[in-house]
Amino acid sequence: VRLGITTNLVRLATDRTELQEFLAAEWPRAQIGFVPTMGALHAGHIELVRQTALRSRVVVVSIFVNPAQFGPGEDLDRYPRTLSSDIEQLEDLGVPVIVFAPSADELYLPGEDLRIQLPSLSNRWEGAERPGHFDGVCLVLTKLFGVVRPTSVYMGQKDFQQTVVVRRLLRDLMLPIELVVVPTVREADGLALSSRNRFLSAEQRAHAPILIHTLRELAEQVLAGVELSTALRDAREILSTNHNCRLDYLDIVDGDGLEPVAGFDPAQRPTAIVAARFGSTRLLDNLPLVPA
């Protein structure tokens, strides 16, 4: 048994053939729910897997730190890799899961130069800060969809822009895969769970919930009828005058095109988005103004 960590509940495949064998052994044409991750699993990921298990016959969790979505000078090397603890957490969940944890060579073939780009969605917000990031996400997901052939893919609201990009990717590639977006799992004080929270100092950690507090205040203002530009100006001021963080952006965008909205229209599925840096750690959060 590879790495000695395949159990009754969690089966680990590290190459495509092994994964295909596991999947072929399932009931023919089984409903497959897929959760793509980069590992370093926390309670947010586990909730995503739990939601998937509630609605799928077979659950596949991929664990792959995708080099294509990291830019030069980003944290690819210091991204946490914790496969055995990841598998333990999945075991503790108590539902059968197939883990697919390939090497980079297993997914990226010699000489390949495939590119998949959605420039209008991918080059703004997170994409402006991280050029090429969503191209890398689209590339690896398209490959993983081909390998796993899921019926549904489950992703976190936490990475809102990613969900918008993936919805468009599925639509434009005409892939018959349903996207299910799971609400953000938060700490008791509101901070969204993230693998990057571990890089915060105790002091930065204490200040980080200001992101969600500001978004909640902004949402309250807008829903109470305060003019959008006024509410946004106030929210930006709270974050840009706070010396514990450096604001990258804060805005309210529509749920399909990620354009800043001109006014409050529930039909546009407006979502408040924020990114800010606490020391060298960049945190994201978002809050849909209208429940899905």
184 binds ligand AMP (CB under 6 A): yes
Q: What's the one-letter identity of residue 55? A: R
45 binds ligand AMP (CB under 6 A): yes
Does the annotation mark 213 as catalytic? Answer: no
| Stretch near ligand AMP under the rule CB under 6 A, chosen from 13-21, 83-91, 156-164, 256-264 | 156-164
The alpha helices in 185-244, defined as continuous H runs, are: 202-207, 210-223, 228-240
Coil, helix or strand at residue 47:
helix
192 binds ligand AMP (CB under 6 A): yes
Figure out which of the listed residues 33, 44, 102, 136 binds ligand AMP, where binding follows CB under 6 A. Answer: 44
Figure out which of the listed residues 5, 175, 193, 238 binds ligand AMP, where binding follows CB under 6 A. Answer: 193
270 binds ligand AMP (CB under 6 A): no
Listed residue (82, 136, 75) closest to 108, CA to CA: 136
- Name the catalytic one among 42, 45, 207, 213: 45
Site size toward ligand AMP (CB under 6 A) is 16
Figure out which of the listed residues 37, 62, 122, 161 binds ligand AMP, where binding follows CB under 6 A. Answer: 37
Q: Are 138 and 165 spatial neighbours (Cβ–Cβ below 8 Å)?
A: yes
51 binds ligand AMP (CB under 6 A): no
68 binds ligand AMP (CB under 6 A): no
Q: What's the one-letter identity of residue 132? A: G
**What is the C-alpha separation between 198 and 160, in angstroms, rounded?**
21
**What is the C-alpha separation between 33 and 26, in angstroms, rounded?**
13
Q: Are 282 and 275 spatial neighbours (Cβ–Cβ below 8 Å)?
A: yes
| Stretch near ligand AMP under the rule CB under 6 A, chosen from 91-99, 121-129, 192-200, 212-220 | 192-200
Coil, helix or strand at residue 292:
coil
Listed residue (235, 230, 184, 186) closest to 208, CA to CA: 186
Figure out which of the listed residues 116, 165, 177, 185 binds ligand AMP, where binding follows CB under 6 A. Answer: 185
| Stretch near ligand AMP under the rule CB under 6 A, chosen from 75-83, 105-113, 190-198, 237-245 | 190-198
Q: Would you name the residues annotated as active-site residues?
A: 45
